[in-house]
């Protein structure tokens, strides 16, 4: 059997198993070899790597990963895809484990400890767009030993992840991602590279996790509460946005005092502050 990037092969497999696309899983399968090669290059997969793939679908990307990595664990939520993967498209790869599970419920730290001696892994994912952010944030927040995450996301989400202060895309997601990782958009992917065609354009983004966080704060949860509060009220000044969401913790005078201590104007808006400046404000409060 040929590679599944040939649309004919993909259709044959889907028909053979009478597979029905599940809208709730946001399934769109890649059918473009050039995009797959760009993902592999961006993820920098080599024979030393232990790779976790989230959402293998019918195994299109998994075939390439198995041929280029030392070991691959593919985590697929849809039980209807498991027979296709095990009996057909990925049959014969001895460096592969398929797990039928929701990635948000899987103990990845335990898996990495047991299967890779706790050493850093690489993550590759083609995620349903409605759940991209929760999955990426969980990978960050659980302190799993990860070197990089290469993920297909909605184009505007990718652009938001790498935006800087003062731009329209800059927001809480930009700051959260940049606190944990260095984002780099590796490729833009048009709709016709998928089956079925999604309604939006996509992008491949690589998130290389920082060896050391770019800012140091005593309480990163407080910093992210300030970030969320400021972007919940984009049109308001920072002091009014924080007062609206965090008034029961901090009086307006206390917030103004903290702004002054950091050397910020009273009229400053959250979208003007860098990650470093949010860290300073968090420490001041």
CA distance linking residue 143 with residue 159, whole number of Å: 24
* CA distances for 18 relative to 13, 29, 86, 126, 196, angstroms: 8, 16, 16, 22, 15
* CA distances for 71 relative to 38, 48, 52, 139, 272, angstroms: 20, 8, 9, 19, 44
* CA distances for 189 relative to 19, 32, 231, 274, angstroms: 25, 10, 29, 29
DSSP 196-252: SPPSS-EEEEEEEEPSS-SS--S-HHHHHHHHHHHHHTTTS-HHHHHHHHHTTTS-H
The per-residue pLDDT string of the chain (285 residues; one tens digit each, 9 = 90 and over) reads 445 556 777 777 777 767 776 665 666 777 788 888 999 999 999 999 999 999 998 898 999 999 999 999 999 998 999 999 998 889 989 999 999 999 999 999 999 999 999 999 999 998 777 888 899 999 999 999 999 999 999 999 999 999 999 899 999 999 999 999 999 999 999 988 877 777 889 999 999 999 999 999 999 999 999 999 999 988 899 999 999 999 889 999 999 999 999 999 999 999 999 999 999 999 999
Helix (H, G, I), strand (E, B) or coil at 157: helix
- Identify how many contiguous H helices and E strands the chain contains and give both numbers: 12, 9
Given a contact cutoff of 8 angstroms between Cβ atoms, the answer to whether 120 and 109 are in contact is no
Domains of the chain (ranges, CATH numbers): 7-209 (3.40.50.150), 220-284 (1.10.8.100)
Global pTM value: 0.89
């Amino acid at each position: 059997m040929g590679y599944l990037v040939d649309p004919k092969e993909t259709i044959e497999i889907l028909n053979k198993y009478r597979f029905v696309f599940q809208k709730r899983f946001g399934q769109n399968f890649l059918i473009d070899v050039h995009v797959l090669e760009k993902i592999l290059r961006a993820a920098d997969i080599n024979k030393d790597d232990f790779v976790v793939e989230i959402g293998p679908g019918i195994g299109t990307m998994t075939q390439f990963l198995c041929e280029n990595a030392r070991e691959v664990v593919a985590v697929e939520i849809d039980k209807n895809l498991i027979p296709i993967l095990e009996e057909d498209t990925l049959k014969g790869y001895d460096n592969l484990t398929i797990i039928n599970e929701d990635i948000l419920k899987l103990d990845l730290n335990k898996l990495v400890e047991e299967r890779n001696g706790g050493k850093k892994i690489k993550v590759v994912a083609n995620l349903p767009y409605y759940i991209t952010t929760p999955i990426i944030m969980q990978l960050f927040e659980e302190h799993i030993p990860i070197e990089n995450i290469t993920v297909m996301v909605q184009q505007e989400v990718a652009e938001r992840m790498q935006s800087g202060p003062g731009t329209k895309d800059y927001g809480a997601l930009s700051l959260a991602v940049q606190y944990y990782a260095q984002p780099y958009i590796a490729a833009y992917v048009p709709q016709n590279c998928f089956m079925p065609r999604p309604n939006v354009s996509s992008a491949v983004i690589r998130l290389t996790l920082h060896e050391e966080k770019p800012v140091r704060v005593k309480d990163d949860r407080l910093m992210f509460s300030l970030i969320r509060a400021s972007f919940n009220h984009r049109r308001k000044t920072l002091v009014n946005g924080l007062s609206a969401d965090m008034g029961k913790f901090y009086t307006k005078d206390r917030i103004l005092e903290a702004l002054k201590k950091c050397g910020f104007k009273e009229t400053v808006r959250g979208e003007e502050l860098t990650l470093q400046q949010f860290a300073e404000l968090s420490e001041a409060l």
